[in-house]
Amino acid sequence: MPLLKKYGIKKKYYSSISSRDFTGIDPTTLTAPTKPELSNTAFYREASPENQQSISSFEENGFLIIRNYLSAEQINHVNDTISVLLKTKKIKFRYGNKIMFAIHHSALLRSIGEDKKLLEFLSCLMNGEAVLFQSINFIMGSEQRTHSDSIHMTTFPEGGLLGVWIALDDINEHNGPLHYYPGSQHLPYYLNADYDNEGSSLLLGKHSYTEYEEMIKNKIAENGLKKQIFTAKKGDMLVWHANLFHGGEPHTDKNITRRSMVLHYFNKNAICFHEITQRPALLKNNR
């Protein structure tokens, strides 16, 4: 792991790793000296005025919305592909209702995640080189409680992650829309130490993930954050900051689906790990 060696951290790829290992280390040597202009990317230039305005608010809000990112034809192809992969048992549901890493079983899905214009744009947003790490597909709403991705997909330096969510159905208040808290990305990155969950090289922390969720709930109240709900049309895309508080609303009408695709991107020049499990996040290359 070359980046670990750069910081003088002697770890094997299978060793435990968490934010505690980077205490007192200066991250600036991995930071690009200047941030490229988003307005110079083909993605921005080709965006509608509405989408450009949303892009311009990313640093303030911690998210941006691109309307009509995928066409109806592309969405139909994606939904048909997921259906076929499920029927042929190439993919399956995990952790309840998540379909993990479908990009490794479909050239179509991978091509969406690795679109050159999108990658260039995301690289500018994160001031690095965006690399597709993971995909998650949903048929129904996630209903996940509010969290920051940085507890699950942690980076050093902090902020080396972006989330992309694409609506594959029309999504309203009845079929599990996303929610988020604008500006929450400016808060500290709340990690294991913040809810007394630091483990050791052999043992995980003693507290449950529910206790992490309760901590986030309290931070929202303490800071007076206001929740927004994202009702979307098929093809709309949401991009969010690594530390944005977000989650899924209840899916109250189970007669309608809430198909969607999530893509997570790491900064190629960041060290990536799972804070809770203290494991490195390794890119899976299974093309």
What is the model's pLDDT at position 197? 80
In the chain, % of residues over pLDDT 70: 91
**Mean pLDDT throughout 259-268?**
97
Average pLDDT, the chain: 91
**Mean pLDDT throughout 37-58?**
96
The lowest-confidence range among 39-48, 84-93, 108-117, 266-275 is 266-275
Nearest by Cα to 180 from 258, 232, 121: 232
Kindly report, residue by residue over 122-164, the tens digit of the pLDDT.
999 999 999 999 999 999 999 999 999 999 999 999 999 999 9
Q: Is 4 helix (H, G, I), strand (E, B) or coil?
A: helix
Kindly report, residue by residue over 159-208, the tens digit of the pLDDT.
999 999 999 999 999 999 999 999 999 999 999 989 988 765 545 656 77
Tell me the pLDDT band of 32, cut-offs 50, 70 and 90: low
Extents of the domains making up the chain = 60-277
What is the model's pLDDT at position 17? 86
Q: Which CATH class is domain 60-277?
A: mainly beta
Kindly report the pTM of this predicted structure: 0.93
